[in-house]
Amino acid sequence: MLNKKTRLAIIVPCFNEELVIKSTIETLIEVLDKLIFKDKISKDSYIYLVDDGSKDNTWSIIEELHSSYGKRVKALKFVRNYGNQKALIAGLLGVKDIGCDCAVSIDADLQQDENAIETFVDEYHKGAEIVSGIRNDRKTDTLFKKFTAICFYKLMNLLGVKIPQNHSDFRLVSSKALEIFEKYHEEGLFLRGFFHELGLKTSYVHFDVKPRMAGKSKFNFFSLTSLALNGITAFSIVPLRIIAAIGVLTVLGSFLLALEVIFEKYFLHDMPSGWATLVVLLAFFGGVQIFCLGIIGEYIGQIFNEVKARPRYIKETELT
């Protein structure tokens, strides 16, 4: 079924993307034109850029593009860098306010295949409220990123968060999904988990990842670790239960050890000097305690962030 009235918004988070942003917008305008020509979306469909506090010329290029494309290129600028998830959240809330029937988020480097947007829209027309892009492979990733990504998805699944592997932030969400999304005020919302858990009708579309056109990846070891930790602690309390289990096992273990020591002392009369055992045990339990405290700290960190209920970001300028 073709629907002439479908207003599509394409959300693009950008952080220091001066090398690619112009050609990305041009390509996305072509995608919009093609879909308008095929009567799949309405003429007032638009691109919504979120400049995540870029330090380079990204914003001035965006301003130029806004003046040449007018209302087809809208944009928002943060006062500073808040990270890709917050930029995406701002994008989703921004297009919800401006108005759209569905919104697709895609990276500024167009590593995700922009031609899949047409398939996303087709799936939306068939009734999907969410269309999730699944990467075909991780050829373009470094070995380290590949390995950590696999571990992350395996761990998430083990912890009871059933998000499909190779999920990405390349997805379409309907205005209905956006309305629900707006009601969630969690600071550390992990979008991949959130949209998956909503339970709305979801389709999956596989796409090929291309190498980055220019510039470097904006993620480093620390930002990826923070994203992964956020994803885990925002969605699962299993680590807390593991702490409890470790506690129980430790107590049981120490009972056994006590029995053994008593046995040796009274029946074998053969007490070893014990120094090595003591040191090993001290170190071991010290380690276990610190590890457990670390996990608790993660959750306390989450609570800390949530209770502050600070605004997620502060907008500097908006072009609509």
Binding site for ligand UDP (CB under 6 A): 13-15, 17, 52, 81, 83-84, 87, 107-109, 111, 217-219
Instruction: Region of 215 please: left (phi>0), alpha (psi -120 to 50) or beta.
Output: left
Phi, psi (degrees; rounded to nearest 5) at 277: -55, -45
171 binds, among Mg ion, ligand UDP, none (CB under 5 to 8 A by kind): none
SS3 call for 136: coil
CB 16 within 8 A of CB 56: yes
The sign of the CA dihedral 28, 68, 3, 50 is: positive
Closer to ligand UDP by Cβ: residue 213 or 261? 213
Contact flag: residue 109 with Mg ion (CB under 5 A): yes
What's at 117, amino acid-wise? I
Placement of tokens 């693009």 in the chain: 12
Contact 46, 73 (CB under 8 A): yes
Name the residue nearer to ligand UDP (CB basis): 108 or 117.
Answer: 108
Residue 17 binds to Mg ion (criterion: CB under 5 A): no
Q: Which residues of 251-274 are buried (b: 16+ CB within 10 A; e: fewer)?
A: eeeeeeeeeeeeeeeeeeeeeeee
CB of 87 to ligand UDP, least distance (A): 4
Provide, rounded to whole angstroms, the least separation between the CB of residue 54 and ligand UDP: 8
Least distance in angstroms from the C-beta of 208 to ligand UDP = 14
| 187 lies in the binding site for Mg ion (CB under 5 A) | no
- Name the minimum Å distance from CB 114 to ligand UDP: 13
Tokens standing for residue 111: 């590593």
Binding flag, residue 105, Mg ion (CB under 5 A): no
Binding window for Mg ion (CB under 5 A); candidates: 50-58, 103-111, 142-150, 291-299 = 103-111
Answer yes or no: are the C-beta atoms of 169 and 105 closer than 8 Å.
yes
- Select the binding partner of residue 17 from ligand UDP, Mg ion, none (C-beta < 5 to 8 A, by kind): ligand UDP
Rounded least distance, CB 282 to ligand UDP, Å: 42
Does position 114 bind Mg ion by CB under 5 A?
no
Nearer to ligand UDP, 108 or 292 (CB): 108
As given in the structure block, the two tokens for residue 43 are: 């003429």
Interface with Mg ion includes 111 (CB under 5 A)?
yes
Residue 176 C-beta: closest distance to ligand UDP, Å: 25
DSSP bridge partners of 289: none
* Residues at the site binding Mg ion, with contacts judged by CB under 5 A: 107, 109, 111
